[in-house]
Amino acid sequence: MRRINELVAPHGLRGTSHRTGMNGPRKVHIKSFGCQMNVYDSHRMADTLAPEGFAETATPEDADLVILNTCHIREKAAEKVYSELGRMRVLKQAAARDGRRVVIAVAGCVAQAEGEEIIRRAPAVDLVVGPQSYHRLPALLARVGRGEGVVDTEFPVEDKFDLLAPPSRAATRARGVSAFVTVQEGCDKFCTFCVVPYTRGAEVSRPVAQVVAEVARLADAGVREITLIGQNVNAYHGDGPDGRPWTLGRLLERVAQVPGIARLRYTTSHPGDMEASLIAAHRDLPGLMPYLHLPVQSGSDRVLAAMNRRHTRADYLDTIARMRATRPDIAFSSDFIVGFPGERDDDFALTLSLVDEVGFAGAFSFKYSPRPGTPGAEMAEQVPEELKSDRLYRLQAAIDRNQASFNARCLGRSFDVLFEKPGRYPGQLVGRSPYLQPVQVMAAPSMVGEIAAVTITEISANSLFGTLADGPVRARPTLAAVEA
Ligand code: SF4
């Protein structure tokens, strides 16, 4: 296959890098929007382009190839992409005046949803590539190099995970000691507000062996913490080595055995898929962190039914209770949508009461905004914008109060912190508690990648501050009393 560093050269300069000379490295800038799955995908695109001669750059002005890895979840997602593409067009024109060709690609869920419309509305775009086709990037860029405008939003039969290049050790190390691994894509739930089933398709799970091999490679390069990710991760049902589908609980148990991996997390989960083996994993695996993101969206059964969430408030609370009985120190975060069509004051009051009943350690909350093509967008009784804003304000106040209370209970306690990188001040490192709180500690730079016991001495709105506790490094969190 031709290397693509000759294919994105300016017309008439094919094979010659304008900036770096013959066969010099080309640069790719990937801008990631949205969730962790897009961050992971961006890394895998960079990994797949590296053998083709592309080095990553943090600045688009510097790049020969710019990829916008887009998200369709937020309001007016497509319009935001088009406005970003306006900036990219200016950048492309400036480069052309210097005799340099910049290729503009759009990837991610907006690419999947909009397809050819993107090139029609933004002719500066050379390539539109959907999330299932990233392994084809070299071939697609070759077509771009031949002057084609290329759109690939298919769901190919081949498994992209078999074909995406693995990261180099250097790239893995540069990304830090905590890594995401996609184990599942797509969703079969069809919540009436959500575009994921349309943009990412039906649920597909990676085989256990493939996941374990990727985790082992990451561990070998120094990664200590793995977050298994998927749009509906706890619906995981990948083929196990015994030829049968494995649950996420079994997969976690297997991944926990990979040497070097000290911490495990997973996200994002559906409450209806918290099955027995997954709950048991929280009891049996010391490395599985006691912090679960479990979106509920609303506290009202009427609204949950309209959202097609397939669970009730009581189901959700029952799951929380079973998790707490299994792992007493577990804490929860969640997602909420306010102002879903038909949401009344009494529905919203139930959402507020749920926040206090669970005592979330954190949560994301949004005003409902209709996504074209979803059933929610067609529903009558859309809630006025001012009412949504008022409810969001009140909900966030309740969430903040609960989060502050959770953090306050951490004060004076000691728990294990995984040190990730230097902090803001000299001699300081920043790490993560078992509950994903950033913790600032004065510690030697050599401790990056280590897990050590830290006593929390101070809390602020967004961080904890602590000192290294005396005694040996412990292998598991010790914040058992936080929920007491
Ligand atoms: S379960 Fe999550 S990803 Fe699936 S449709 Fe509902 S909100 Fe979207």
Q: What is the pLDDT of residues 127-141, one digit of tens each?
A: 999 988 999 999 999
Q: CB neighbours (10 Å) of residue 219?
A: 19
Is residue 191 within 6 Å of ligand 1 at its C-beta? yes
Q: Which residue has the tokens 């979840």?
A: 73
pTM of the model: 0.87
| Tokens at 197, concatenated | 């089933």
Asked whether residue 477 carries a pLDDT value surpassing 80, the answer given is: no
| Nearest Cα residue to 6 out of 28, 30, 22 | 22
Ligand 1 atom showing the smallest separation from residue 231 Cα:
3
Asked whether residue 484 carries a pLDDT value surpassing 80, the answer given is: no
pLDDT at 462: 81
| Tokens at 103, concatenated | 């290729």
Residue 106 β-bridge partners? 68, 128
pLDDT band at 11 (very low <50, low <70, confident <90, very high): very low
Ligand 1 atom showing the smallest separation from residue 268 Cα:
2
Segment 361-383, tens digit of pLDDT: 999 999 999 988 899 999 999 99
358 or 35, which is more confident? 358
Is residue 231 within 6 Å of ligand 1 at its C-beta? yes
Do residues 152 and 130 lie in contact, with contact meaning Cβ atoms separated by under 8 Å?
yes
Do residues 344 and 306 lie in contact, with contact meaning Cβ atoms separated by under 8 Å?
no
Asked whether residue 14 carries a pLDDT value surpassing 60, the answer given is: no
Q: Alpha helices, DSSP H only, in 327-455? A: 345-358, 375-378, 385-408
* Mean of pLDDT over the chain: 89
Q: Give distance in angstroms: CA of 232 to centre of ligand 1.
A: 7
Stretch 29-35: mean pLDDT, rounded?
90
Cβ-defined contacts of 281-284 (< 8 Å, 24+): 281/248, 281/249, 281/252, 281/253, 282/323, 282/326, 282/327, 282/330, 283/326, 283/327, 284/253
Is residue 187 within 6 Å of ligand 1 at its C-beta? yes
Asked whether residue 186 carries a pLDDT value surpassing 60, the answer given is: yes
Asked whether residue 79 carries a pLDDT value surpassing 80, the answer given is: yes
pLDDT at 24: 61
Please give the Cα distance from 71 to 107 (Å, whole number): 9
246: left (phi over 0), alpha (psi -120 to 50) or beta: beta
Q: Give distance in angstroms: CA of 336 to centre of ligand 1.
A: 13
Segment holding 53, helix H or strand E:
none
Residue nearest to atom 6 of ligand 1 (CA): 191
